[in-house]
Amino acid sequence: MSELESFSDLFQNKLFRIPDYQRGYAWKQSQLVDFWDDLVHLQEGRYHYTGLLSLKAVPKTETNKWNNDQWLINNRGYKAYHVVDGQQRLTTFSILMNEILTFVKGLEENDGKTEDEIVISYETLTSIRSKYISQKRPPQNMVTTYLFGYEMDNPSADYLIHKVFGEPHSGSMKETYYTQNLKFAKTFFSDCLENLFKSEGLDGIEKLYHKLAFQLMFNIHEIEEDYDVFVAFETMNNRGKKLSNLELLKNRLIYLTTLYDDDQLDSTDKDELRKKINNSWKEVYYQLGRNQNSPLADDEFLRAHWTIYFQYTRNTGNDYINFLLNKFSALNIFEKHIVLLEEETIEPINDDPLKDDDGEEIIEEDFSVNVSKLAPHEIRGYVNSLKDISEYWYMSYFPEHGDINTEEKIWLHRLNRIGIGYFRPLIAISLLPEQNITVDERVMLFKAIERFIFVCFRMGTFQSSYKSSFYYREGRDLYQGDITVHDIIKSLNESVEEDLNTALKNFSTKMDTRFSKHEGFYSWRDLKYLLYEYEYEKAMHSGIKKVGWEPFTTIEKDRVSIEHILPQTPTKWYWRNQFRQFTGDEIKTLSGSLGNLLPLSQSVNSSLQNDSFPDKKSVNTPGRRGYRDGSHSEIEVSDQEEWNATTILNRGLKLLNFIENRWDFSFEGEQEKLDLLHIGFVKEEREDVEEIPEEITLTLDEIPTTNGAEMTISEFQLDFWTNFINYCTEIGRESEIASRSPYSHNYYDVKFSNKNYHIFFNIIGSDIIRVGIYIYNENVFKLIEQQKDKIEQICGFELDWYTSKEDSVAKRVLYSSTTDLRDRSNYHQNFDWLISHYDKLKRALDVVEPL
């Protein structure tokens, strides 16, 4: 172990290369922020220990292939090193140093100057660049040698040189998961330097450069020539940002190529096998990072491929990487087995093969060779398979980028919507051209898989691993050519038929539980998939697509939410009168029944709220739209004259009929459907109940001539909450929501049995109305935050989670809307908004894990 060195010391007459067994640049924002903060907050004259750098000298036999580097190595006395441990820090240093040079050169005051004329910290940019980034070979300066970089057989090599360091004439290049990280680091440091310059000027940039070059200190460890560098790499890299299994396996396979005896694999074949490994990983990482906005997990791909390539068993399924590392191990190279060879000789004619012509016994000689237990062709076959399948693994996620039939793309998108689960390896195999599967056969397979998933998992709620071992093996057998795709399709359909009764019973039991909690179909997590498929079918019939899948799943202003046509809290006269013959519990059941649920854009739902059905159907107010202008499903609902219990029942039966037709099975008659909908009571004969006269609709006790706009702030707030309490009392919600006296504040707290948080209401200014959760300490907030997605799914609206001050012990979670608060004729609408959003928020909090 040497003494501590700075970057300035480290870069004295050295070339650094990231070897092919290394992963690419893996640092992300959190590591970059830490690096920047350490640097910015490092005091002048102080040093910061940055860890150990492990290097291994590259012998001249290898550097002879480094054409652009030869002049520095042979004529300038530079020594070449492979970076075994510390490449993330060295890469980060190089990117930041280059960005400092680029930033300073781009300053307005340096416009038109050469790098020889620009000076920071008493050094020209030319001297800084030649010391840390690159040098040009004189006298023509046509060859540029970069002091730090990747070996050329790596996609990151070109990217670092051309896209990060700015070398011109790059041509086209593939971007991977790792090149995205390089791009992000460059942009990150560029932004940081811009902000530093704004606050501290050029002096701040100079100080930063000095800290970077001279005050970050390392221990430098040179690995001896006879030391096993591959094992060192595995050990060292598991200390920091842990290697992924895919990264670890690449290192292991390259290591194994060095262990074969020359008589089994000569140097040319070793180089070729190593090249195949690198090319395979290059393709794999390109495919996994091909969609820069949604990179695919490398370890998930590696495990999936393992199920395809090797014999899957549940015993080893969760420990696949140990299986692979044991399979591809040094022990299997060193452990030999004898292979007998036949010598090609012309035998004399002899009646007794054990005697020569003189009658002497012939001693048979064994011609044999020691061959490694793990043959080179096994490594070659494995890495070629990884490479070939990676493209179709990507296509299974993003079929729109694949060269496949439109109907195949439709079904692959459908499978991604419903959740492919453990079927993805099988689907990727089915897309391989060498499988010779026709388009029609693939579509039949995709249909059978989707049907199996919907019936067994989405309705039947079977365990997610149900039959996974079986279909992993089916995928491997298909890959090996031992079965046909028709065998798998038949198996899937037979499984659905065998499991159908159990699945429907499970579905019915789960639905009973949901209705007992007054949630009904609304809390079935796959309701969106069902309603989207219903909408999609209508779009196919009409030829007009009105709603895409993305709005169903993203949280944004105009996303789609599933809403109740008959409101969960029916306070308006229309609803109370329309359902007057039913009890409160029956109305809650009707509200959660399948036929009452409709996909709406959130903006529409927020504006319609508890409006009557005629008002929801057709809205004449500018900026708002009703069902008639919505999706196919909304338009279908708007064709109803009235919305009552019978229409809810009929629409529910229609949707269940759609399920039967779409997924090709039958419920056990009408009664089973009524039991599922939970509103069989609609068919009961009941005495007619006299209409509720519209004139007794709840109103304010007295609307004074003075409007809210003419009151002081305190008077208005007291008036608002006083009328809110009266309103809650009249509709029977005073004990739950409005048990506190009104105050002249802009908030009203609603406390309940939970001691960790309560719900509150806000009125802000003259136009903001708000509901929120007030959480008493940060630990409880973090627990609730972990279930953010579930809470928002149940609520049907996006909450603002991060408005509280960072140092605040208590935290607020908010949902706001705009309205005219001061117009007292809007009070009822605003009260309804508060009550309905309270109910949704309270329901979501009750469903999540108790705190």
In this structure, are residues 25 and 178 in contact, taking their beta carbons and an 8 Å threshold?
yes
- pLDDT of 367 reads 45
What is the residue-averaged pLDDT of the chain? 83
Question: What single DSSP character describes residue 218?
Answer: E
Residue ranges per domain, the chain? 4-237, 245-332+377-505, 535-683, 708-847
Of the ranges 64-73, 352-361, 511-520, the best mean pLDDT one: 511-520
Distances (CA, A) of 137 to 54, 69, 141, 656, 835: 29, 9, 5, 76, 76
Q: In which band, very low, low, confident or very high, does the pLDDT at 546 lie, cut at 50, 70 and 90?
A: low
Residue-wise pLDDT for 196-211, tens only, equals 999 999 999 999 999 9
Of the listed ranges 107-116, 152-161, 548-557, 729-738, the least confidently predicted one is: 548-557
* Residue 624 pLDDT greater than 50, yes or no: yes
Statement: 708-847 belongs to CATH 3.30.1460: yes
Helices (H), 437-558: 439-452, 468-480, 485-516, 527-542, 550-553
Record the tokens describing residue 616, joined without a space: 């929801």
- pLDDT of 224 reads 65
CA-CA distance, 552 to 560, in Å (whole number)? 5
CA-CA distance, 653 to 595, in Å (whole number)? 7
Q: Between residues 837 and 448, which one has the greater pLDDT?
A: 448
Q: In which band, very low, low, confident or very high, does the pLDDT at 225 lie, cut at 50, 70 and 90?
A: low
Of the ranges 108-112, 423-427, 722-726, the best mean pLDDT one: 423-427
* Residue 695 pLDDT greater than 50, yes or no: no
**Residue closest to 411 by CA, chosen among 437, 432, 439:** 439
Residue-wise pLDDT for 30-44, tens only, equals 899 989 998 998 888
- pLDDT of 152 reads 67
Q: In which band, very low, low, confident or very high, does the pLDDT at 568 lie, cut at 50, 70 and 90?
A: confident
What's the whole-number mean pLDDT along residues 588-608?
76
What's the whole-number mean pLDDT along residues 639-666?
96
- pLDDT of 159 reads 86
* Residue 694 pLDDT greater than 80, yes or no: no
What's the whole-number mean pLDDT along residues 230-252?
65
CA-CA distance, 442 to 407, in Å (whole number)? 10
- pLDDT of 523 reads 92
* Residue 605 pLDDT greater than 60, yes or no: no
CA-CA distance, 69 to 57, in Å (whole number)? 15
Residue-wise pLDDT for 523-535, tens only, equals 999 999 999 999 9
Pairing between strand 560-564 and 123-124?
unpaired
Of the ranges 18-22, 80-84, 458-462, 722-726, the best mean pLDDT one: 458-462
- pLDDT of 344 reads 41
Of the listed ranges 130-144, 376-390, 426-440, 782-796, the least confidently predicted one is: 782-796
* Residue 286 pLDDT greater than 60, yes or no: yes
Number of Cβ atoms within 10 Å of the Cβ of 437: 19
Q: In which band, very low, low, confident or very high, does the pLDDT at 547 lie, cut at 50, 70 and 90?
A: low
* Residue 751 pLDDT greater than 70, yes or no: yes
